[in-house]
Structure formats: structure tokens, C-alpha cells
Amino acid sequence: MTEETQALEAAIRKQWDGVFIATPSEKKKFYLTVAYPYPSGAMHVGHGRTYIVPDVVARFWRMRGREVLYPMAFHVTGAPVIGISKRIARRDESAIKLYRDLYRVPEDVLETFTDPLNIVNHFSNEYERVMTQAGLSIDWSRRFTTVEPTYSKFIEWQWYHLREAGHVNKGAHPVRYCPQCENPVGDHDLLEGDKAEIQKFTLIMFQYGDAFIPCATLRPETIYGVTNLWVNPTVEYVRARVDGKEWILSRQAMEKIALQDHEVAEIGTIPGSDLVEKKVSHPFCGEVPILPAVFVDPDMATGLVMSVPAHAPYDYIALRDLQRKGQYTDIKPVGLITVEGYGEFPAVEAVEKADIINQDDPNLVELTQSVYTAEHATGKMYEQYGGKPVKIAREEIAGVLIEKHHSGIMYEFDIRPVVCRCGSRVFVKVLHNQWFLEYSDEAWKQQVKDHLENMELVPQEVRAEFFRTVDWLKDWACSRRIGLGTKMPWDPEWLIEPLSDSTIYMAYYTIASRIKHIDPALLTPAVFDYIFLGKESEGLPERERLDGMRKEFLYWYPYDFRFSAKDLISNHLTFQLFHHCTIFPKDCLPHGMVVFGMGLLNGAKMSSSKGNVYLLEDAINDFGADTVRMFLIGSGEPWQDFDWRNELVSSTKKQIERFAQTIRDGLAADGPETDIDRWLVSRMQNHISLVTTAMENFQTRQALQEAFFGFESDLKWYKRRLGQNPAGKSAMKSLCSTWVRLLAPIIPFTCEDLWKEIGEGLVSFAPWPESDASLVDDAAEIAEELLVRTVEDIESILRILKKPPRKVTICVAPSWKWEIMTLIAGAPDKKNVIRDVMQNEEIKSRGKEAADAVKQCTNLFHKLPSDLVDRIIANKPDELAVFKAASAFLAEDTKLEIEVIPADACQHMKAGSALPFKPAIIIE
């Protein structure tokens, strides 16, 4: 970024200082919110898109005359910054490198990061500074952090209501747990594995002498088909006393089991190689051998695996590999499930049909999922095993195994590794006396579903994902022992976890600038009941202030749209609907949500921990705020993924410079009005309508395409048509004013600077352009479209000529061909129209010539845009007059002699190919 651009942006930021503070007025409101950031590091360009897209929308509606609220706060609840501060305190090399080198935290400031609140304060201020640098039109008067006493009082009020409604209860549940932090952890607490889900395995206990060997499975119904166990001969296994019984399992498994409600003590070890070819037994499958398999991961479940080769592709492949070496050839798959589309042994059939070579084949994962899905969906157990559908048998058999055959439950993650921000590994732990939100409550789920039916969701496709999330949501561990945040009001030994205190803060924004002036001690639940629910009670303090807050809340709520990432549908975005439905009346429930795609950097997912980020401040300093904004908006619609590539951003910078120069040149125009000026002004009305519609539908990329390239394309033709003539003063003044305002939400710095030469005040508050139907000139637009297409055809022909041409003859179609085109446009079946058209006597009399023309016109009809055809039929151009009027332009443009004649007055053989809106072109 040049010093000139830097100075310009700084000057404009001063002009914007305080102007975006929103207050209730007579205007209609537009309230949008975005997921507030967790300020534990510097902003990167992915964050930039998250907050710039809503800013473009906010600026658009502000110019449409709405009172717009776009607030911002900082989410600092939880343990992430505590984990970070611990890593910095112990001089963790990767943490120090991340904060010192990537985030460029000064050494003296970094030394203070051993206090987590210093991390929060530093990056909160950095976020506000960089957001302001990016031109975000945020109302900063409403800024808060989630550890402020007033916010904690608000959270306490929320939780009293949730408990009163019966949605908060105590119990024992499996949670993601960090032993080092001694705390349950959520997505935002994790360095790796933030998408990890907890899976419930059935432990099937195989008898081995006086001990048990547990194998974890998600498919307990397949116990009848076990032919062997797999053990890793290179691993040293542990003998452990678990709840009084001896188990043999991996060391990692013993440590996991100890966290899951079991009394565990190590009593010895045994090499995996000693277990090979030993026998184990189970009542449901009899005696089976233990076979060697180095693919068995000691860190997965119990570290030993039961093998069901008839129904598990991996097991079949492993067994086949051994048998091809001549080993264990007496072991045969045991079928136990009938499945539509498969034979006796589905896994065997699937593997052989797919020509899977070995266990490393990448197609094996998908193949396994395919077999498992088919068996769960349509599978039925053999009659000797109960004859029930798999989905029913699975639960029933698991129950029998647990009740009568020593089986138990083990919880494990579906993906690994899962790592806390403190750097420690995360495990599944069964916590007791833990507070849970009962998202499993069917009545509560139905409330949310009923509201989702009426919500405006963008894009529409995410509606199904919301419903899926509501269906599978289980009880959620909502309390912690360690971290920052609000204490559970009725049980202060516990803290409310981060996702659970960030569900209705959109309501808090409406009062945030006012409530900070009230003593937190006065903020009883009754105070919030009055502000948000209108419930009167005696002794309410600061009544005048409370009335002001009540007025603000009623003006702004419900929020119009919430913007957030698609990966938050599975938690935050759905949680907030549950909480809103419980606490607020129906007329205060959320109106809509816009769901974002993900960000890539040079084709790879952005990750601060892995160093694959490009800081937003660096991008702004390198290219300028408007360039960053325009590139991010142009890289895809909000719900699409985007890819930041520096080499492409440079071209965006040049486009903005070109736009600014075009505006300055346009403002200097002083020519008289001409026909082409009327065309330009007419075209502008359509651009205004298209940009406005795109913005209303959150299609910010489409709006940019139309607002920037649509205008630029028209201007290119306009200047070409002018030739040496000066641009029209009136048309250019109108265009400059319109164009600058249409692009102001996207590149506000540039447009604010240009507006000084065009209008009064700030362009940020200038009225949005409105399309004027009286300025639409369909005849002029159609005439120019005809010229554009004809010039393109002439140029195409000229490019392939070998000899220099002298003359261009343009032959326009006769009226009877126009009649054919009109009949085609009105025909019910526009692909089979020959019979209908040939019923016209005048056309029929022309015989084969007419039949050929019908085919040609039909082909042309389907090639032209449908809206253009409609306009052509409604406003048939006088093609002869259009081309004669433009003959001087065409001669100058082509540097050739131009002749325009009716096709039926021309003897050249090509003249007969003239069609409506596509004249025959003869070049000599």
C-alpha cells in the first residue's frame, strides 16, 4: 500500500469515528450480528471475510435508509487463554514462536501473557484496531467482554430461566476432558480435533483363562460372526485389574478406561507376540484364535480387535493376506446378516468386486462405510440369530451382552488426535455431578423445529442440516471447574462453559452501551425480566435507565440476521435457537441466519496453529483495505468456500485504481446528450435493480460483479460508440453518482474519497440509487444489443480472412422471418414448432425456404437469452434504421466501407441466411 493510500484511509477513518453508533429512531431498523471472536491471537484474512461480508450488508441497508446496528464484542469465556498462558509460562517453543513471530507480540508484552487476562486485553484491542483499519462500520459503543460483571449478571438471569424451564440437570455423562486443565473442553478449547465426536462402543469380553480380553465394537450384533481376534505382536500389553476382574488391553486403553467410571490397577504386562495363536472364547461365537496384525493400533479403543470377515472389509482383507501366505486357511467367514444387493458374505463380495488389493487401498474406507450403511439400513439377522433388523438387533444384543456376559461400555473419539490448547492430549471422561443442558428433550427439540420452519436461512440448503442437528443433539455438558466466565448461579463451584454462555448475547448487545452505567450489584434477575420480558416488579432500581434499555431492546429485537460459519450449525447456531425459544416470546425469536463457507490460503485450510495464515493487517498494509474487501467479496458468495491467493489480489487493486480514474474522468465530461447517452442511462437502471436484488439476497459476489463489471462493460461500449466525440456531461454525472454509491458498501474508502467531488456528506449515508422506470429505453437497449452482436460477428469473420477486406454489407432479415420468430415465441412447444408455424398461409406459401427459416429461427431462439427474446418480440427493432444510423460508427470502427440493405434486395447467396436480430454479413 502506498503512503498516499495509507494517508487517505487514515483520514477517512477519522471521518467515520463515532458515526456508526446506532440509536432507536423513526426509521425501520436492520439488526445484524456476527459470531463474536475469541481474541487469543491476531486476525487473519479468514476472519476478515467473516466480518467484512456483514459489513457490506450493513452499509447497504444503512444507505437504504434503515437504522442499522452492527455491534461487536469479545468472547473470552473458558480455558483456551489459560492453556495458552500456561504454555507461554513454561516457555513452550511452538507457543512462543506463534505469538512472537506470527502474531508479532512484543517481547515485553509477551512476558505478561502468563496472566490470561493480559492475552484477552491485548488481542481484544488488536481486533478492534484491525477491524477499524478494515473499514468495518461497527457500533463500538456496545463493546463488551464475556467476563465483565454486568454480562455475568445477564448470563445468570438466562440460566435461572433455563433451569426453571427444566432444561438444566445434573448427571453423569461422557465429555471431552483435558487432564492437565482438569476440565471438560469444547471446540474452541482445542488445538486439534475440534470436530471429534464421542462414540459409544460396546466392550465384548472374550475369556482368556482367568482373564478377559475386551474388544470394542460399534456393531455388537456381529459377535456371532467372530472368527478370530487381532493383536499387534509388536506391542506390550497390560494386565490390569478393572473393577475386580483381570483384563488384558493396551496401556493407552487402560489409561482411557480409568477415566470412564472404572477402578483400574496395573498388575503386569504381556507381549503381544505371546498372545498370537492363543485361544479365547465367548458364548456367542465359541472358541477362536488370536492372530497377528501390525495394523492394530494400541491407541484405538482397547488395542485388540475382534474379526468378522463376512461383514467387515478390513477384517476380510487382513485374513486373506495371511491365507495367501498359507496361514490359517481353516478359518472361514461366518455369515449372519442378509442384505439387499449382497450375497452370503457382503464384505467378501464387496472387496472382490472392487478389486481391493490390500489394506492400504484408499478405496477401502469408502467401501467399508458402504457395507456398514447397507447392513444398518436393510440388513436383517439370520433366523438362528433372532431374525430382527440390524438396527433393532444391535441394541437388543448389546443389552444382553452387558446384562449377562460381562460386557460394558467404552467411549472413544471418532477422530484423533484431540489436543487441548494447553498442548495436552484430550480424552473421554465420564463426569459425575456435572450440569447438563437437556438438548435431548423432544418437546424442546420440537419448539426449535417449529421456529426453524419460519426462519429465513441462507443458503436454503442449510435448513436440512439444522434439522439434522436438532434431531441428533444429545445432552450437553455445560459446566466447568476451571476457566474464565460466569459461575453457575445456584452452584458456584462450577463455571458455565463457553458455548453455553454465548447463546443469547445478541439481546445483550441492544442494552450494552447503557447497562455499563449501572452498578452490577443492582442487576437482579427481576431487572432483566423487566428489560427483556416486560415483567413489572417492585423496587426496580434506576427506572429511567431501565426504561431506556427496554425501549432499545424492543426497537432492535428480534435480530434480523446472524452471520456465522457452517461448522457452527452443529453447536452454537443451533444452541442459540434452543435458548431463544425458551426465554423469549415468539415475536422476539431470531428472524434469519446466513451461513458462511470456509477459508483457504493457497488451496489449504487456514490454521493458526500450523502457521498457514496470512494476517489481515498484513493484507491491508500490503494491498489496502478496499482491495482486501473487494477480493474477499469477489472470491465467492458468503456460503461458498474461498481461497486467498496474493497473485490474484494484485489484479483487484488495479481494478479499483481503474474505477477511480474512470470516475474522475467521467466527472470532467462536458459533451452534449446523444442517443448513446440515453442507452447508457437506461442500462444503468437495470444494473441498479440487479445489484439491489443481489444485496437483498446476500449475494454479495453477484452484487459486486454487476456493480463493477456490468458498469465497466457498458462504459467500454459507450466510449467505443462515442469515437472521437466527448462523453455526455449529464449521463456521466448520473453514472458517476450511481456507480460510486453502488460500490460504496464494498470499497468504502475509495468511494468516500470520490464522493467529495460528487455529493454532500458521507457516501456511507448517501441514499442508495433507485431504478427509474421513466429512464428505461428498451428500444435504445435493443438497438445497441443488435449492434454489439453484429460487431462481434464481423470481428469473428475478419479474424479468419486471409486477404485484406474492403467492404462490409449488412443484410437485414425480411418481415416474414420476424413473423416466424414471433410465432415461435408464442408457441406452447418451442422445440417442435414447424407444424404450427407452417399453418400461417403467407409463410406456408414460401415452401422449403420457409421450412429452412423455421429451423434456423428455432435454433437462434434457443441460443438467445430468454429475457432478451421477450424484449425483442415486444419491441421489434427497425434493423434497417438501426444499422443505417450506426453506419458511420461501423465504418470508423472497422475502417471499411459499410453498406446496409434488406436481405431480399441482395443477390449474394449469403443474404438468404439473414435472421431476425442476426443479419447476414458479407465481407468483400
Q: How many CA atoms lie within 13 A of 245 on its CB side?
A: 17
Strands 897-902 and 807-812: parallel
Q: What is the pLDDT, as a whole number, of residue 375? A: 92
Q: What is the pLDDT, as a whole number, of residue 197? A: 85
Q: How many CA atoms lie within 13 A of 536 on its CB side?
A: 0
Q: Please, what sign has the CA dihedral across residues 527, 529, 530, 532?
A: positive
Q: What average pLDDT values come out for the chain (924 residues) when binned by 10 residues?
A: 89 97 97 95 92 98 98 91 88 90 92 93 96 98 96 97 96 86 78 85 96 96 96 96 96 95 95 96 96 93 96 93 93 94 92 86 88 92 94 93 94 90 88 90 97 96 95 90 91 92 97 96 97 96 96 98 93 96 97 91 71 88 96 94 89 95 96 94 97 98 97 96 93 97 98 96 98 95 95 93 92 92 81 74 79 87 89 92 94 94 92 94 92
Q: Return the axis-axis angle of helices 525-533 and 543-556, rounded to nearest 10°.
A: 40
Q: Can you tell me which residue has the cell 496384525?
A: 293
Pairwise CA distance, residues 223 & 307, whole Å: 9
Pairwise CA distance, residues 545 & 152, whole Å: 19
- Give the contacts of 99 (CB within 8 A, at least 6 positions apart): 41, 88, 105, 110, 113
In this prediction the pTM is: 0.84
Q: Are 871 and 778 in contact (CB under 8 A)?
A: yes
Q: Are 339 and 374 in contact (CB under 8 A)?
A: yes
Q: Which amino acid is at 758?
A: I
Q: What is the pLDDT, as a whole number, of residue 843? A: 78
Q: What is the pLDDT, as a whole number, of residue 131? A: 98
Q: How many CB atoms lie within 10 A of CB 587?
A: 8
Q: Are 514 and 548 in contact (CB under 8 A)?
A: yes
Q: What is the pLDDT, as a whole number, of residue 483? A: 85
Q: What is the pLDDT, as a whole number, of residue 608? A: 66
Q: How many residues does the chain have?
A: 924
Nearest to 315 by CA among 299, 293, 300, 335: 293
